[in-house]
Amino acid sequence: MEQIPFNSSAPNTLGIELELQLINPRSFDLAAAADELLAQMANHPIADRVKPEITRSMIELNSSVHEHPVGLLAEMREMRDALCLAADAVGVSVAGGGAHPFMRWQERAISDSPRFQYLAEMYGYLARQFTVFGQHIHLGVASGDAAVRLVRGLSPYVPHFIALAASSPYYEGVDTLFSCCRLNAVSSFPLAGHMPAEVTDWYRFEAHIAQLRTSGLAESIKDLYWDIRPKPEFGTVEIRVCDTPLTVERACQLAAFAQALAVLAARDPEPSSSAWLAYRSNHFQACRFGLQGSYVTPAGERMRLIDHLRSLFQRLMPIAEELGTADMLGALRDEAIRNGNDSRWLRSQFHRVRELPLVVESMTRAWRGERELGPSSEVPRRRIRANSEPMHEVQALATPDVGGAAGWHPDRLH
């Protein structure tokens, strides 16, 4: 059995990756402008931290390694500002959010790299449907065994990450009634899900990967679309379930949450085998209902996720005090309890403006740091049923994903 080397890193260091939307500032549809934006940034000091993604309407922004989320936030703000300047020069806008509200997957263009072209050939239309946008959080660990233990320890809290980060209520012009619809696209891949419960140490992880390779089911760890997975070349555990938040502030608060939770998981006993019983149901509830979903604890108790989250924050705040991140964690807690997640904010924007292109415009403003505080509470709540009928004529809104932002200039929609 081939051994997989694990590059040790300082425990509880952290970094994040943000997959971002490139937006045509006239139509507010996605723009296939990744190549132009990357060329614009080629000589910038952060050029090596801005990378292409699977389709040309996406880019990925990578942080460096940090010991403290406050330093991470300072870096992310600098990178955001540099990215916005380059995007302005190219003629596109940038937005967070887990899914574009009215894009058509049929019109996405696959990026020109061997890995992405292979994925398009292997997975067909799923590769273009994978034009969804997530935040990955990396936590440093000292060894492979420590990585596996941390994956297991964090797994009962996957619903908490999903619900706190959810920012994808709309897809192809429809209110999906999901708080996070992005993970439905991820779940389509054959090796999605969680690390098998029987993997309890690095040796068993290596054995599992060897079995997948021998069976022809995977070529490398990159083929594992697990919710949380070890990243041995980085020496980290990678949390992969978060939608990209609308702001870098929320993204860094989630990183602070992950860091404190890793400390708690290291101090707590490992979850019992019953923790895996409700894993898929808890995952669905968080995607569908967000913070108001049901949650079955590892002990078998059923409760609202927001109530379990309140008690979890009580346990985490003393750890955050130790780490010096109490302000960031407190802000995340207060915002979640008072105003909910970004999906709720996006719905409030739609209820206010009644046009999805204008919702996307608000997403681009939020990314620049111009977001209004709190939900639009003065707008009455309205129930929208999920069905196949879009709220707008999506074909009329969508722009062909060819040629980038330049060369396509319809009249403004507002």
Per-residue pLDDT of the chain (414 residues; tens, 9 = 90+): 689 999 999 999 999 999 999 999 999 999 999 999 999 999 899 999 999 887 889 999 999 999 999 999 999 999 999 999 999 999 999 999 999 999 987 777 777 778 778 777 777 777 777 789 999 999 999 999 999 999 999 999 999 999 999 999 999 999 999 999 999 988 888 889 999 999 999 999 999 999 999 999 988 898 899 999 999 999 999 999 999 999 999 999 999 999 999 999 999 998 888 889 999 999 999 999 999 999 999 999 999 999 999 999 999 999 999 999 999 999 999 999 999 999 999 999 999 999 999 999 999 999 999 865 454 444 344 444 444 455 555 545 544 443 443 333 333 322
Structural domain for 207, as ranges: 13-368
In the structure encoding, which two tokens stand for residue 8, read together? 């040790």
Place of tokens 């079955």: 296
- The rounded distance, in Å, linking the Cα atoms of 84 and 369 is 11
pLDDT (0 to 100) of residue 398: 46
Does residue 184 lie within any of the structural domains?
yes
pLDDT (0 to 100) of residue 390: 56
Q: What is the pTM of this model?
A: 0.89
Does residue 301 lie within any of the structural domains?
yes
Rounded to 5°, angle at Cα 395 from 34 and 177: 85
Report strand pairing: 134-140 vs 14-23. antiparallel
Does residue 66 lie within any of the structural domains?
yes
- The rounded distance, in Å, linking the Cα atoms of 291 and 287 is 9
Does residue 359 lie within any of the structural domains?
yes
pLDDT (0 to 100) of residue 406: 38
Does residue 1 lie within any of the structural domains?
no
| Percentages (nearest 5) of helix, strand, coil residues in the chain | 45, 15, 40
- The rounded distance, in Å, linking the Cα atoms of 129 and 73 is 30
Does residue 394 lie within any of the structural domains?
no
- The rounded distance, in Å, linking the Cα atoms of 87 and 37 is 6
pLDDT (0 to 100) of residue 371: 62
Q: How many other CB atoms are found less than 10 A from the CB of residue 271? A: 19
Does residue 406 lie within any of the structural domains?
no
- Are the C-beta atoms of residues 235 and 140 closer than 8 Å to each other? yes
pLDDT (0 to 100) of residue 378: 40
- Are the C-beta atoms of residues 357 and 26 closer than 8 Å to each other? no
The CATH number of residue 352's host domain is: 3.30.590.20
Does residue 383 lie within any of the structural domains?
no
pLDDT (0 to 100) of residue 122: 74
Query: Structural domain tally of the chain?
Result: 1
